[in-house]
A and B are shown apart, each in its own frame.
Chain A
Amino acid sequence: MILNMDGSKPIYLQIGEWLEREILNGNFGSDQKIYSQYQLAELFTINPATAAKGLTLLAEENILYKKRGLGMFVSPNAKEIIINKRKNQTLKKLVIEIVMESERLDVSKEELIQMINDVKTGEAGE
């Protein structure tokens, strides 16, 4: 992954999101050891303290757990937590934005639902 360095999003958040994606992809299974702060620092050429902040963030959300002296590990229910979080936060925000934009453009609810259906079936047809 290439980090977005334009300063619009803090690097540690981007590290957190990248790790979440790695867990969702199945690259890291339950109770598997995840990258250390130093490995992350090397991967992305960032300060190890910034990388640690990204790891701590996920530990606070119970996506990772810490084993003293051994490093960070993926929680058994990590996927579930990430999916729930994304549904309730990320997706919800996107939906609010879509609804607001549709109101600005005078797009009716039915039209909007139709648009979503079109995208869905378009995906299935691929």
Chain B
Amino acid sequence: MTLWDATLAALLLLVSGDRELWGIVGVSLSVTLRAMLVATPLGIAAGYLLATVAFPGRRLLIVLTQGLLASPTVVVGLILYLLLSRQGVFGELQLLFTQTAMIIGQVLIALPVLIAFSLSAIQGADPRARETAQALGASAPRIAWTLLLEVRFALMAAVCSAFGRIVSEIGCALMVGGNIAGVTRNMPTAIALETSKGDFAQGIALGIVLLLVALGINSAFAFFQGEARR
């Protein structure tokens, strides 16, 4: 099969609504969205605390978070695999090769991105925003909420960036998800598998979907970054 034939077959798979292919897309988006639902509030709250509260070890935590931005996802997968495997600390939970394990892995990968970007957004906010909220009698939670609203576009950019990182990662998903058809097979793991089997059509079709998702996310990221600078 030539590349042209494979691409045509891929487009046919996409428009024909192939159940297996769209099932894989569904698993991918469902796992990533649930991971983001968990990671986003945690990451933004941690970023806010790091940006605004002085405590011993704060500097070390910031350096650690920034260091973890570039952590290889396969290493995150390896650590999680060891923790969740039968002999691991959390082995009794029997989470290995489940979507829950994939979500935990994606949360761990997304958190440094969300924390580092939120920290940077909040530190970059105009100091008068906090002072004005204080001077108008706002309580500490209201001040925090006000500040987050003031940097909302930068925070949305953080969310897009984290989403982009986890939706396309393969290392952790493969190790703790196991690439089980219909359960934990997502777009990146399916592309790797189908390509190794020589089924280029499905690989290309999933590649197109993943590319469109990444393009959409990056467009949103650029939009929010532009709004944040205004």
Chain B binds chain A = no
